[in-house]
Amino acid sequence: MRLVTWNINSVRLRIDTVMKLVAKAKPDVLCLQETKTPDAFFPADAFADKGFVHQHFTGMKGYNGVAILSRLPLADKAIHRRCGKDDCRHISAKVKLKGNPFELHNIYIPAGGDEPDPEANDKFRHKLDFVDELTAWFAKERGAKKPMIAVGDLNIAPLENDVWDHKKLLKVVSHTPVEVEKFTRFYESVDWVDAVRHFVPEEKKLYSWWSYRAKDWDAADKGRRLDHIWVTKKLKPALQKQQILREVRGWERPSDHAPVILDIKEAA
């Protein structure tokens, strides 16, 4: 089974780009973040025509939004409202994979604005609170023994080699010590396995996001790894392969994120 996660930065604006990715990567399950559309306008038929007849999504006009699009049956669909907000950032569903069924969580953690000060910046405070709530919720409501996969634009690059310059980014939102500390607690909440770093050593630079502000993003290569796929240890033996499709960042009218791919065995 192939799972793909991608912050698409408007699914309606980039529907042709998504379909190009579908043709190239051939996912069985596609998770999108920042879909930026109310449910009534989500291009559900376009995905159904490509075989993604099992769908679960929630979105709002111009902001946020997450979607799970699957060729495999989905059950127990849920929308999780975080920090008292109905801002379409976390959904889940059980994926009926033969031999290895699992609960899939598609999460879009708030970016947090530009100022890494929770007292001066409400957006940053919301981001920290959001991660804290995820940490407590997974530990209490799910647990490490449950077969789960969490994917999404988690908007934090935790490791030194998840950013282009560790020292320069210590005061930049997405790599600050307080974010990394809370992110680590979330990671440890149910003993997650970083499915991408499972295959790529921590000593190697690895990015999934390059800013629109860079005139030549590819040459500058000032990236960050903001997009993640985690699995609980029960699924670790099923991990087969990971890919970050950097080339997609260079397609016409791209998202600033690249798709992340995980291949999983049907039976461990």
Predicted confidence at residue 194, as pLDDT, reads 98
Report the phi/psi class of residue 174: left, alpha or beta, with left for phi > 0 and alpha for psi in -120 to 50. Answer: left
Domains in the chain, ordered, with CATH?
A: 2-264 (3.60.10.10)
* Owner of token pair 């997405």: 174
Tell me: pLDDT of 10 over 60: yes
Q: Helical H runs in 7-114? A: 15-25, 44-48
pLDDT in tens, 112-143: 999 999 999 999 999 999 999 999 999 999 99
pLDDT in tens, 192-229: 999 999 999 999 999 999 999 988 999 999 999 999 99
CB atoms inside a 10 Å sphere around CB 239: 19
DSSP structural state of residue 226: -
pLDDT in tens, 42-66: 999 999 999 999 999 999 999 999 9
Q: What is the pTM of this model?
A: 0.97
Predicted confidence at residue 100, as pLDDT, reads 85
